[in-house]
Amino acid sequence: MLEPVDVSVEGHRKRTMRSVIALCCPVLLVGMIFFLETPQGRAFNEQLFARYYTLGALLMLGFYGAIGLCLVVVGLTLGVIACVRRETPFWLPCLAVVVNVLAPLAVLRYAG
């Protein structure tokens, strides 16, 4: 029977998967906002939520708020985990955390 082999070596380069995924979250958030500003986004909202009138407006607010909050939380969490695990290059996890903090602020500034 095969025994598991420990392949962890000190100084070995760690994967940057968490940092890259953390950097994708604010891009998706900003992309969602820009999509909703287009005529296709407005038509999508009307087709999905307009038939419910006031309830539709509340559903739309909750739906996009939940998606936005999930993207921010996942991005920040993955960025912090990447910083704690010291992924290389060393600047990528820090960039992921900074972008995940600044992107929602930019979206709120743009939308407001």
Q: State the Cα–Cα distance between residues 8 and 107, nearest whole angstrom.
A: 40
- Which residues make Cβ contacts (< 8 Å) with residue 13, sequence separation at least 6? 88
pLDDT in tens, 26-67: 999 889 888 988 999 999 999 988 888 889 889 999 999 999
pLDDT digits 0-9 by tens, 58-110: 999 999 999 999 999 999 999 999 989 888 888 888 999 999 999 888 888 87
Residue 100: is it exposed, middle or buried by C-beta count within 10 angstroms (0-12/13-18/19+)?
buried
CA-wise closest residue to 69 among 108, 15, 17: 108
CA distance 71 to 51: 27
pTM: 0.77
Decide: 67 and 104 in contact? Cβ < 8 Å.
no
Q: Are 26 and 100 in contact (CB under 8 A)?
A: yes
